[in-house]
Amino acid sequence: MVSVAEAMATFLERHGVDLVVGQSLPSAFHLAVTDTGMQQIQVRTENAGTAICDAYARVAGRLAVMTAQGGPAAVPFGRRRHSAASSVSSRPMAVCRAIRRSP
């Protein structure tokens, strides 16, 4: 049986994504990415990750995926995402929010 994380990684690779940037969260997704041909870059801050994705999209003309966790650190991620989305040379951006329910 294929997990949701594996299905997402396969879907993204099939649709041309070749770069995933994040802080290894969500863990299951980042572990699934290691089984694909996509490159991963682990970052310490959301600002660094979104800057990498923005620059990659502008230079390579391809979509990169950034993962981030919620909480106070999500504020700079949101600001950078808004900046990239509103720029003249903006590139497509997909944002998904994972909700973990306690058992």
Average pLDDT of the chain, as a whole number: 77
Q: For the whole model, what pTM was predicted? A: 0.74
Distances (CA, A) of 7 to 10, 12, 32, 59: 5, 9, 9, 28
Q: For a pLDDT cut of 70, what percent of the chain falls above it? A: 67
Backbone angles phi, psi at 58, to 5 degrees: -70, -40
What's the rounded mean pLDDT across residues 48-58? 84
Q: Which residue has the higher pLDDT, 91 or 68?
A: 68
Q: Where exactly are the structural domains of the chain?
A: 4-78
Confidence of residue 69 (pLDDT cuts 50, 70, 90): confident
Q: Looking only at Cα atoms, what is the longest distance across the chain? A: 45
pLDDT at 21 over 50: yes
**Residue 34 token pair:** 């290691």
Q: What CATH class has 4-78?
A: alpha beta
